[in-house]
Amino acid sequence: MAKEYVVGVDIGGTTSKIGVVDARGEVLVQSVIKTDVNVEAEEFIHTLAEAIKKLIDASGKDGQIRGVGVGAPNGNYYTGSIAFAPNLGWAAKRSVPFAKLLSAELDGMPVALTNDANAAAVGEMAYGVAKGKKHFIMITLGTGVGSGIVINGEVLYGSDGFAGELGHTIAVRHNGRACGCGRSGCLEAYCSATGVARTAREWLEMSEEPSLLREVDEITSKAVYDAAKSGDALAKRVFEYTGKILGTSLADFIAFSAPEAIVLFGGLARAKEFIYEPTLKAMNDNVLNLWKGKVELLFSQLKESDAAILGASALAWEL
Amino acid sequence: MAKEYVVGVDIGGTTSKIGVVDARGEVLVQSVIKTDVNVEAEEFIHTLAEAIKKLIDASGKDGQIRGVGVGAPNGNYYTGSIAFAPNLGWAAKRSVPFAKLLSAELDGMPVALTNDANAAAVGEMAYGVAKGKKHFIMITLGTGVGSGIVINGEVLYGSDGFAGELGHTIAVRHNGRACGCGRSGCLEAYCSATGVARTAREWLEMSEEPSLLREVDEITSKAVYDAAKSGDALAKRVFEYTGKILGTSLADFIAFSAPEAIVLFGGLARAKEFIYEPTLKAMNDNVLNLWKGKVELLFSQLKESDAAILGASALAWEL
């Protein structure tokens, strides 16, 4: 029987999503399991494999699955391993040969692995706003800032599989904020969901300016977004500041790979109404003349819950 | 007869170098002509073609030449054009279809064109310290700062042929120096030969510190180098400062393409004894942990006069 379906798996720090996907990018069935970070890797992978088998059964496509594509933090395409991923307890202090172990649990079914941002880029190229584009940069604005760089229609992996850590380029060289990576001034420290909340907290402390955020119990990026929606001036300026830093960094990324487009994805990208203009302006203000006004700034249109699965699944077609 | 030789041409703002090269990278014969920037492009290309023909005659390899590779500022590999190159009068305000015109002048001999930094990267990969490397970044430290990025053994051209303008990434975001490109804070404004001279001049004005450079008529990067060689403390600190800015930027470039090595090339790279340590230190101090101490910092070993010709000639083998 022709193998016309693939499985996409998105491993997150809290939950892992699984979907059976057809060649047009339709998610036939999907399920979610808890990402248990307090067990050994082998145990989690066993649980995941059981969930995958169950979902394949439910899809009625048993025997027609070509392979499994997995997107995970710190996933390495070359080695198939997840190594030193701070948010995944079972891979925080070691390198786990994830693809190999999962394949063994699935009776030898082929498994491909990459990091979550690269998977998102592949998904966007196959099914999203980057369809037909050969050169683009995907920036994922979530708890952290990740990136997937596509050159000539292929994800850039570099010499070691770790290329595209643009969230850890330095956006602020002097007195930059401490970043989770141990350095300071990283783009991620400013333009992630965490960074947005931090900017808001700092500004609220620095001034007496009235703001709806002063009524909020916990300042999160969602709270800042809600306040901005209600017209809060400080909250809106937080997004302007975030967009300005992001756009300035994007200008440098363009000088590297001369992409047709930058695609923004993830939680913070949903604040498009507040960050689009300042990001685009900073990007065009800071980019070399030859690219001014020429690089598109796009926002992912994929349904958030599908996007991660689709991106990971797209990898499996290459198996 | 087998076509086992190629011609390499390096177009500079002052002179253009031509060489006939064999497959092992030996320059059999070479010549230099003045780059006349005050005539029309067609006239310069005619003069260049005559010089190429004469050199081929002198080499005794007439009929055995596979093609001509040209490296030029703002040369575009995709289009074969030189466009808006500030230092080349005949291409300063227009786009010149250089490869096509030169090929016509050479009775249809194939001509490939790229920018000078990309040509240098190709030369370094074929004949220099990057031999055997598939992932590296070439930084040319001359009057300006250029770059050639190699990924999977191929030069990165991007969507439009202009990828790799790393000299125009922003090294200093606040109150950065004006750059020739019209923006400010570019890496080129600090880490080019011009940038080094400028740093020295600024520092001499800012303080009363004694320095050999105070005796010099014109402060050039060469003068700063000579002073440093003589033990001048200020001159040495100029190179330390230059290396620190360069290394900090290199750390960001590594996060993009995860190269095995960075290769420094050009006039300023000859000051290796003064810039190697501070550049390497800043690179490793600022790079993400996973790459600390893992990316080589190499200096081109190719003879300066040969390197440009070799790089350009290497392009012609693909014709």
A175 Cα to chain B: minimum distance (Å): 12
In chain B, the domains with their CATH numbers are: 5-123+305-316 (3.30.420.40), 132-300 (3.30.420.40)
* Nearest CA among B234, B259, B120, B145 for reference residue B195: B145
Verify whether the Cβ–Cβ distance A251 to B149 is below 8 Å: no
Residues of B whose CB is below 8 A from A259: 158-159
Beta bridge partners of A31: A18
Helix (H) or strand (E) holding A68: strand A65-72
> Could you give the angle at the alpha carbon of B224 between the alpha carbons of B218 and B227, nearest 5°?
105
Verify whether the Cβ–Cβ distance A258 to B172 is below 8 Å: no
Most B CBs within 10 Å: which of A257, A289, A296, as the mutation test of the B interface? A257
Contacts of A85 (CB under 8 A, 6+ apart): A72, A73, A74, A91, A92
List, as one string, the DSSP characters of A249-301.
HHHHHHHHH--SEEEEESGGGGGHHHHHHHHHHHHHHHS-GGGTTTSEEEE--
Q: Rounded to 5, what percent of chain A is helix, strand, coil? A: 45, 20, 35
B76 Cα to chain A: minimum distance (Å): 13
Verify whether the Cβ–Cβ distance A159 to B288 is below 8 Å: no
Residues of B whose CB is below 8 A from A294: 160
Say if residue A304's pLDDT is above 70: no
Helix axes A233-257, B233-257, angle to 10 degrees: 90
Q: Tokens standing for B34?
A: 């003045």
Phi-psi region of B208 (alpha: psi -120 to 50; beta: other; left: phi over 0): alpha
Q: Tokens standing for B151?
A: 């990924």
How many percent of chain A have pLDDT more than 90?
84
- In this structure, are residues B80 and B69 in contact, taking their beta carbons and an 8 Å threshold? no
pLDDT for B32: 95
In terms of CA atoms, which chain A residue is nearest residue B147?
A256
- The one-letter amino acid at A194: T
How far is residue B94's CA from residue B79's CA, in Å, rounded to a whole number? 14
A182 Cα to chain B: minimum distance (Å): 8
Beta bridge partners of B178: B184
Residues of B whose CB is below 8 A from A296: none
pLDDT, chain A, mean: 94
pTM of the model: 0.93
List, as one string, the DSSP characters of B141-208.
ESSSEEEEEEETTEE--TTTS----GGGSBS--SSPPB-TTSSBSBTHHHHSHHHHHHHHHHHHHH--
B interface with A, Cβ–Cβ below 8 Å: 84, 134-135, 149, 151, 156-166, 168-170, 172-174, 181-183, 248, 251-253, 255-260, 286, 288-291, 294
- In this structure, are residues B158 and A259 in contact, taking their beta carbons and an 8 Å threshold? yes
ipTM: 0.92
Verify whether the Cβ–Cβ distance A286 to B164 is below 8 Å: no
- In this structure, are residues B81 and B37 in contact, taking their beta carbons and an 8 Å threshold? no
A316 Cα to chain B: minimum distance (Å): 22
Q: How many A/B residue pairs have CB atoms within 8 Å? A: 107
* Nearest CA among B313, B14, B9 for reference residue B143: B14
pLDDT in tens, B113-171: 999 899 999 999 988 999 999 999 999 998 889 999 999 999 999 999 999 999 999 99
Beta bridge partners of A262: A137, A297
pLDDT in tens, A141-174: 988 899 999 999 999 999 999 999 999 999 998 8
**Averaged pLDDT, B27-35:** 95
